[in-house]
Amino acid sequence: MAQYSEVLDGVFLALADPTRRAVVHRLGQGPTSVGELARAAPMTLPSFLKHVRVLEANGVIRTVKTGRVRICELNRERFALVDDWLAQQRRIWAGRTDRLADFVTETEEDS
């Protein structure tokens, strides 16, 4: 469970920055080169590469070097973990709101 939590923490950390979210959004359309991704970012290439490293280190993206070009792609398995966690949170909160609705309904009927 601790390892699962560490993975989720890393994914959320990686997605906490708007530049990294923009990279993830673009990669949702398909793999592309680091150079292409960097062109859309309002910063120097070395600064942009730090963002790529954070995404890669936390398993959000994978990169493969082919010659002089580094291609990035999403690691969809990481997003499946986040989706599972969010589904679990939805179930918890749905149960809480159902209990609240039951309480309110019972209180109104008692009045």
Query: Which pLDDT score, from 0 to 100, does residue 106 have?
Result: 67
**Each residue's pLDDT tens digit, 6-53:** 888 899 999 999 999 999 999 999 999 999 999 989 999 999 999 999
Q: Is the pLDDT of residue 57 over 60?
A: yes
Query: Which pLDDT score, from 0 to 100, does residue 33 have?
Result: 96
Looking at residue 65, which CATH number applies to its domain? 1.10.10.10
7-23 b/e (C-beta count within 10 Å ≥ 16 → b): bbebbeebbeeebbeeb
Query: Which pLDDT score, from 0 to 100, does residue 25 have?
Result: 96
3-state helix, strand, coil in the chain (%, to 5): 70, 15, 15
Query: Which pLDDT score, from 0 to 100, does residue 104 have?
Result: 63
Percent of the chain with pLDDT over 90: 58
Look up the domain containing 25 and give its range.
2-110
Sequence letter at residue 59: G
Number of domains into which the chain is organized: 1
